[in-house]
């Protein structure tokens, strides 16, 4: 990614760039009824960003096409895709990379139409068989409450093993394994305790005996976690760097830590739903998301590393997102292996961890 030397110009350039990108990707809809594009997307700050900063310019450049956001986390959106299969419903779906591979395997995602913007992407942003693409890259690590840590005189966390420290009893959020952040934590705990994705027992043992007793909530909803941090009810949470940035923008005193054993790579995937009633418009929307101006907006507002190599970021924003070197050091998940076992692990988690 390229770093701009003049961050003060970024807001103006972004506004101009978003409009220009939308025009380049516009459709000819003269004389036609205004189509409605249904987009399954993350809730919270991400939904707000789409509604305020992305959709208006795209809609205006595409004949007033209406774009409706259907909010939900990856698990919820995947369930909706399953329920609507073969029927009209969502046209575009945002899913974390693990659930996205499940969606592809289940036939929920169609092929992406060829477009010049795809030539500008980092290889890590590409999904197998061209059924989806990552519009941003996130790191899963540890979020900690700077105000509470200062009050208690605690040193900032540095390791995944800090999650087992009994001083955090009742002061932590561990997202459920149904959420990608929770699954990442389980995989890492297995790895650093002598296991792997093919030997998950050490991860479950540590979760049950050492980490679960510290957990106040397994609820992964952004609103709930924001509230708990704001009220100083929790000290730690397993969370993504982008989500942490969103909390900071709300004035909540949190910082993100890349654990010394490694943070975990998470791709913010998006696909065009197979047999979408508005496929042409859906394809244009995905391409628009990958345009440099929108990529810069995603980095600024969501803390995700751009998927497009041509994206220009101010030094301030570039410092907040994983750079290409950092991305290269992240722990990668073999989703072909993990997704085969995820249902069994979820049942085990419900029995042993989240009782």
Tell me how far apart the alpha carbons of residues 175 and 221 are, in angstroms, rounded to a whole number: 9
* Cβ atoms of 167 and 154 closer than 8 Å: yes
Kindly tell me the burial class for residue 252, based on how many C-beta atoms sit within 10 Å of its own C-beta (0-12, 13-18, 19 or more).
buried
Which CATH class, in words, describes the domain spanning 2-137+267-329? Answer: alpha beta
Average per-residue pLDDT in the chain? 89
Q: What is the pTM of this model?
A: 0.73
Tell whether the model's pLDDT for residue 23 goes beyond 50: no
Q: Find tokens 């290269």 and name the residue.
A: 328
3-state secondary structure at position 40: strand
Tell whether the model's pLDDT for residue 195 goes beyond 80: yes
What's the whole-number mean pLDDT along residues 54-58?
97
- For residue range 244-280, what is the model confidence (pLDDT) as tens digits? 988 888 899 999 999 999 999 899 999 999 999 999 9
User: Which pLDDT value is given to residue 258?
Assistant: 92
Tell whether the model's pLDDT for residue 92 goes beyond 60: yes
Of residues 23 and 229, which shows the higher confidence score?
229
Structure tokens at 250: 């709300």
CATH entry 3.40.190.10 includes domain 138-264+334-352: yes
- Range of lowest pLDDT (155-169, 205-219, 241-255): 241-255
> Cα angle at 85 between 81 and 90, to 5 degrees?
50
> Cα angle at 1 between 114 and 21, to 5 degrees?
50
- Listed by start position, the domains of the chain span 2-137+267-329, 138-264+334-352
Task: Give the pairing of strands 172-173 and 236-240.
Answer: parallel
Structure tokens at 286: 């995905």
What's the whole-number mean pLDDT along residues 37-66?
95
- For residue range 58-78, what is the model confidence (pLDDT) as tens digits? 999 999 999 999 999 998 999
């Amino acid at each position: 990614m390229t770093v701009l030397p003049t961050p003060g110009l970024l807001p103006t350039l972004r506004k101009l760039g978003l409009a220009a990108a939308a025009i380049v990707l516009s459709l000819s809809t003269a004389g036609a009824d205004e189509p409605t594009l249904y987009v399954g997307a993350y809730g919270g700050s991400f939904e707000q960003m789409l509604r305020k900063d992305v959709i208006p310019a795209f809609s205006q450049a595409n004949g007033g096409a209406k774009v409706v956001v259907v909010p939900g986390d990856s698990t919820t959106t995947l369930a909706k895709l399953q329920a609507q299969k073969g029927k009209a419903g969502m046209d575009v779906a945002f899913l974390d990379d693990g659930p996205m591979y499940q969606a592809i395997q289940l036939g929920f995602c169609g092929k992406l139409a060829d477009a010049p913007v795809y030539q500008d992407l980092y290889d890590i942003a590409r999904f197998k068989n061209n059924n989806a693409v990552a519009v941003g890259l996130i790191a899963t690590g540890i979020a900690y409450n700077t105000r509470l840590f200062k009050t208690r005189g605690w040193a900032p966390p540095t390791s995944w093993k800090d999650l087992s420290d009994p001083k955090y009893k009742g002061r932590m959020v561990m997202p459920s394994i149904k959420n990608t952040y929770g699954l990442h934590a389980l995989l890492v705990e297995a790895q650093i305790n002598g296991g792997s994705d093919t030997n998950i027992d050490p991860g479950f043992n540590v979760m049950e005996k050492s980490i679960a007793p510290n957990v106040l909530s397994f609820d992964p909803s952004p609103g709930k976690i924001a509230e708990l941090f704001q009220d100083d009810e929790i000290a730690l949470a397993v969370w993504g760097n982008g989500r942490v940035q969103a909390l900071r923008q709300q004035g909540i005193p949190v910082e993100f830590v890349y654990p010394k054993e490694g943070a975990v790579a998470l791709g913010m995937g998006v696909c065009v739903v197979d047999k979408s009633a508005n496929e042409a418009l859906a394809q244009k929307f995905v391409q628009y998301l990958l345009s440099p101006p929108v990529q810069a907006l995603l980095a600024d507002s969501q803390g995700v590393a751009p998927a497009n190599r041509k994206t220009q970021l101010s030094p301030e924003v570039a410092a907040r997102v994983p750079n290409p070197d950092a991305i290269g050091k992240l722990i990668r998940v073999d989703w072909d292996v993990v997704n085969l076992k995820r249902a069994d692990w979820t049942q085990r988690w419900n029995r042993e961890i989240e009782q």
